[in-house]
Chains A and B, each alone.
Chain A
Amino acid sequence: MELFTPDFGLVFWMFVAFGILFLVLWKFAWPAILKGVDDRAELIDKGVEYAQAAKEQLDNARKEAESYLNEARRQQADILRDADKMKTQIIEQARSAAQVEAQKVMENAKLQIQQQQKEAQQQFRNQVSDFALQIAGKIINRQIADDKAQNELVGAMLDDIEKNNK
Chain B
Amino acid sequence: MCILNSAMTRFKLILLLLFAVCLAPVAVMAADEHAEAESAEKAINPKEIIFEHLGDGYGWEVPFDHHHRIPLPVIVWGSDGLHVFSSARITGGQEYTDGNATFRLGDSESNWKGKIVEVVDGKESRPWDFSITKNVCALFITVLLVGGIMLWLAAYLRRKPFNAPRKGLGAVEVCVTFVYDGVIKPILGPKASKFAPYLLTAFFFILVMNLLGLVVIFPGGANLTGNIAITLVLSICTFLATNLFANKHYWKEILWPDVPLWLKCPIPIMPVIEIFGMFTKPAALTVRLFANMMGGHMIVITLTLLIFIFSAISPVAGGATTVVSLIFSIFMLLIDVLVSFIQAYVFTMLSTIFIGLANEEEHEKHEAAKEGHIGKEIEETLI
Contacts and interface: CB of A to CB of B under 8 A. Distances in A.
A10 B150 contact: no
B133 interface: yes
B196 A34 contact: yes
A29 B228 contact: no
Contacts of B133: 9-10
B232 A17 contact: no
Contacts of B54: 3
A10 B229 contact: yes
Contacts of B113: 2
A72 B22 CA distance: 90
B308 interface: no
A7 B134 CA distance: 13
Interface in A104-144: none
Contacts of B147: 21, 24-25, 29
Contacts of A14: 139, 229-230, 233-234
A35 B54 CA distance: 40
A116 B266 CA distance: 157
Question: Looking at chain B's contact residues, is the secondary structure mostly helix, strand, loop, or mixed?
Answer: helix
B157 A36 contact: yes
B234 to A, nearest CB: 7
Interface in A1-26: 2-15, 17-18, 20-22, 24-26
Interface in B45-63: 51, 54-56
A15 to B, nearest CB: 6
A39 interface: yes
B229 A11 contact: yes
B84 to A, nearest CB: 13
A80 interface: no
Contacts of A6: 227-229, 232
Contacts of A33: 150, 153-154, 157, 173, 176
Contacts of B85: none
Interface string B107-148: 000000100000000000000111111011001101100110
A40 interface: yes
B150 A8 contact: no
B372 to A, nearest CB: 26
A63 to B, nearest CB: 34
Given A2-B55, A39-B161, A40-B164, A10 B135 contact: yes
Given A29-B154, A36-B158, A11 B205 contact: no
Contacts of A79: none
A86 to B, nearest CB: 64
A34 B128 contact: no
Which interface residue of A22, A28, A39 has the most chain B CB atoms within 10 A? A22
B146 A21 contact: yes
Contact of B139 (A13, A31, A34, A39): A13
A13 to B, nearest CB: 5
A6 B54 CA distance: 13
B180 interface: yes
Contact of B205 (A9, A21, A37): A21
Contacts of A50: none
A32 interface: yes
B171 to A, nearest CB: 14
A35 B294 CA distance: 37
B97 interface: no
Given A32-B154, A36-B161, A22 B229 contact: no
Contacts of A39: 161-162
A43 interface: yes
Contacts of B128: 8-9
